[in-house]
Amino acid sequence: MGLWWDRHRGCGHTDTWSERQQLFEAMLLSWTRHQPASLLVDETVAEKVGAIRLFASFTNAYPWTWTSDDVAEFWAELRVRGVDRMRLRSYQMWLKLFCDYLLDERYGWSEKCQQRFGRLPERFSDTPDADSTTGKGASRALTRAELQALLKYADEQVRDATALGRKAVLAAFRDAMVLKVAYGWGLRRREAMLLDIADWLPNPQTPKLGSFGALQVRCGLGTPDGQDLTRTVLSLFPWAVTEVRQYLSWVRPLIAGGRDTAMWPTARGNRLSARQLNDVMASYCAAVGLGEGFDLHALRLSYVHHLVDDGIPEQLVCEQVGHADLVRFAVLEE
Name the percent of the chain lying above pLDDT 70: 83
**What's the pLDDT tens digit per position in 157-200?**
999 998 888 899 999 999 999 999 999 999 988 899 989 999 99
DSSP 250: I
Residues 22, 112: Cα–Cα separation, whole Å: 13
CA distances from 329 to 44, 79, 182, 268, 332 (A): 33, 11, 17, 37, 5
Q: What is the identity of the amino acid at 309?
A: D
Q: What residues form DSSP beta bridges with 216? A: 232
Kindly state the DSSP code that residue 248 receives in the 8-state scheme: I
Residue-wise pLDDT tens digits, 297-318: 899 999 999 999 999 998 999 8
266-270: long-range contacts (C-beta < 8 A, 24 or more apart)?
Answer: 267/167, 267/171, 268/9, 268/10, 269/9, 270/5, 270/6, 270/7, 270/9
Residue pLDDT, tens place only, 103-125? 888 889 988 888 888 888 888 75
Give the rounded distance of the alpha carbon of 27 from its chain centre: 24
CA distance 270 to 262: 8
Q: How far apart are CA 35 and CA 302, in angstroms?
A: 46
Structural domains of the chain in order of their starting residue, each with its CATH number:
9-117 (1.10.150), 144-333 (1.10.443.10)
Q: What is the pLDDT of residue 2?
A: 32
